[in-house]
Amino acid sequence: MERAPSSTTGRPGRTRPSPRSRLRRLLGTGALVSATALLLSGLVAGTAQAADVNNAQNPGFESGLSGWTCSNGSGEAVGSPVHAGSTALKAAPSASDTGQCSQTVKVKPNATYTLSAYVQGSYVYLGASGTGTTDVSTWTPGASGWSQLKTTFTTGASTTSVQVYLHGWYGQPAYYADDVSVLGPDGGGGGGTTPSVPGAPGGLKAGAAAATSVPLSWNAVTNATSYNVYRDGAKVQSVTGASATVTGLTAATTYSFQVTAVNAAGESPKSAAVSATTTSGGNPGGGGSVPKHAVTGYWQNFDNGATVQTLAQVPAQYDIIAVAFADATTTPGAVSFTLDSAGLKGYTVDQFKADIKAKQAAGKKVVISVGGQNGTVSVSDTTSATNFANSLWSLMQTYGFDGVDIDLENGVNSTYMSQALRSLSAKAGSSLVLTMAPQTIDMQSTSAEYFKTALNVKDILTVVNMQYYNSGSMLGCDGKVYSQGTVDFLTALACIQLQGGLAPSQVGLGLPASTRGAGGGYVAPSVVNNALDCLSKGTNCGSFKPSTTYSALRGAMTWSTNWDATAGNAWSNAVGPHVHAMP
């Protein structure tokens, strides 16, 4: 959230970077006999295709960084994690360096090559330059396990070498890479022949399912180095052994699973599918009596040009009111709250507390939001986690808040934030309302710290209202790029959360209430409603349509009730009734 509108890019801190062999003429009787024999054996038909090889040197980093050059000493060979073999590349970007590691690869002119590598981490790039034609690159926003990047390029008429590179992104954590392949005609400087693509695994079985997980096992494939696990057609895991446990599932739900085998040559066809139904485990998450479909609105404890309100003036369409914001203190992890009575035209603490009670009597929930655009609260160790939980519990007791909203835009540590939230839950009990409002970049992958936090506390989590604005373009669950301000942006990005382990009841769509409420990404209330219909009923979709529907989708959120009031409450008057009428 933001105290005043601002515009950010979709990526942190920077603009996206964004053979043949001929048969020689056969002369003489002996040569004629030899040629005849070759023809009879089916080995010669005018020309012969030479076997493609992996032209990369030291592709698995088994010889350390031999053959590779890494910028500013950013790279090293490590023993864990590895995709195959005993070592892999680890490279650490900095605020001014992407941690690029590259090598010069010998190639044939006028030839086509397939470039691939297995990577792990946030914003990892793979590319080739100096091809003599069109240079190529591909990237992934992040993965908790190994995922394969792959692209192709064609060399120019005089090209005999290209530069192959890997890199991360400015200020992001270290990334890992392994099993680089430049598959194509032998350029004279690479490794051996690449193995064939493995066959599909057989014998896929589902074990005894729990409420939120299903164990799987299958027969090992001889030439596979890893396996990909698919749930309802979407890849959810990559493992090296012939078994896996898929977690983050919804109770009493039937899922379809498949697996594929992977090696340096590529990925096999999917196995035969097996279905499994999770056991009944009640409704996931906390939140006490929050409606099945709810509207969340942020209430501003400051005057930034939007309509100044008391809590009593917040429209009844809002089921959860997030008071923005708590403030950081000098004690690590601790927060405080001070009502801005002067900025709110004399609104007193006693009136504020009374309005909270009145909203609660009307069936509404009021939570204190921590963070915002200017929030700098850091929970990075056990001490700060304890301080965070204790200070929030104190605010809940002092003002009567029903819970907390996590809107930390300066990043979270999933380990200690999860610890803090569980500590708060232990104090508050099952009625705790826990909401989150991550930015789009924080929910692109289950390996992102915010996403991991949400999954870590899934059993006490009420709803994640991701901010679908101030974002730029992002990847959807189908791997395609979508631009903010469209129905496809809302549905394709929500799909990542729905396929990534959150229950439908824990997913909400966060949008600005007016064009003045954000620097970009505003959509008309009708577009919000269309996105809700698309996700919950499969109607009113754009070009993206989810593979299944999510009737239990929680609802929508807006920044802010104040900007909504400035625009005549057009947002809540349109979206509120629509959410509350959802099946």
Structure tokens at 459: 């059993």
* CA–CA gap between residue 450 and residue 444 (Å, rounded): 10
Q: Which helix (H) or strand (E) holds 519?
A: none
pLDDT score for 344 = 98
- The radius of gyration of the chain from alpha carbons, rounded to an integer in Å, stands at 28
Q: In what order do the strands lie in the sheet with 205-206?
A: 205-206, 214-217, 243-246
* CA–CA gap between residue 402 and residue 202 (Å, rounded): 51
Mean pLDDT of 493-520: 95
Task: Name residue 108's amino acid.
Answer: K
Q: In sequence order, which ranges of 257-305 are alpha helices (DSSP H)?
A: none
Structure tokens at 349: 């603490």
Task: Name residue 124's amino acid.
Answer: V
Mean pLDDT of 191-219: 80
Distances from the Cα of 366 to the Cα of 138, 170, 174, 312, 559, angstroms? 44, 38, 39, 12, 15
pLDDT at 48 over 50: no
pLDDT at 480 over 60: yes
Q: In sequence order, which ranges of 265-311 are alpha helices (DSSP H)?
A: none
pLDDT at 40 over 60: no
Residue-wise pLDDT for 483-505, tens only, equals 999 999 999 999 999 999 999 99
Which residue do the tokens 């599918």 mark?
273
The size of the chain, in residues, is 583
pLDDT score for 191 = 57
**What does DSSP say about strands 234-239 and 243-246: parallel, antiparallel, or unpaired?**
unpaired
Domains and CATH numbers, the chain: 50-184 (2.60.120.260), 205-277 (2.60.40.10), 294-580 (3.20.20.80)
Structure tokens at 523: 């959509």
Residue 320 vs residue 5, higher pLDDT: 320
pLDDT score for 290 = 93
CB 108 within 8 A of CB 189: no
* CA–CA gap between residue 315 and residue 118 (Å, rounded): 51
pLDDT at 159 over 50: yes
At residue 340 the predicted structure's pLDDT band, cuts being 50, 70 and 90, is very high
DSSP letter, residue 560: -
Q: Which of the residue ranges 39-53, 327-341, 432-446 would you say has the lowest mean pLDDT?
A: 39-53
Q: Which helix (H) or strand (E) holds 406?
A: strand 403-408
Which residues 6+ apart lie within 8 Å of 219 measured at CB? 201, 202, 203, 242
Which residues 6+ apart lie within 8 Å of 487 measured at CB? 523, 527, 530, 531, 534, 540, 541, 542
CB 432 within 8 A of CB 482: no
This prediction has a pTM of: 0.59
DSSP letter, residue 25: P
Q: DSSP labels for 82-113?
A: -SSSS-EEEE--BTTB---EEEEEE--TT-EE
Mean pLDDT of 472-476: 92
Residue-wise pLDDT for 369-422, tens only, equals 998 766 689 999 999 999 999 999 999 999 999 999 999 977 789 999 999 999
DSSP letter, residue 193: B
pLDDT score for 83 = 86
pLDDT at 17 over 80: no
pLDDT at 11 over 80: no
Q: Taking all residues of the chain, what is their mean pLDDT, rounded to a whole number?
A: 87
Structure tokens at 554: 């929680």
pLDDT at 18 over 90: no
Q: Which residues are the active-site residues? A: 409
At residue 128 the predicted structure's pLDDT band, cuts being 50, 70 and 90, is very high
* CA–CA gap between residue 32 and residue 9 (Å, rounded): 68
Residue whose C-alpha is closest to residue 11's, from 470, 494, 552: 470
Is-cis flag, bond preceding 284, omega within 30?
Answer: no
**What does DSSP say about strands 101-106 and 69-70: parallel, antiparallel, or unpaired?**
antiparallel
Residue-wise pLDDT for 524-541, tens only, equals 999 999 999 999 999 999
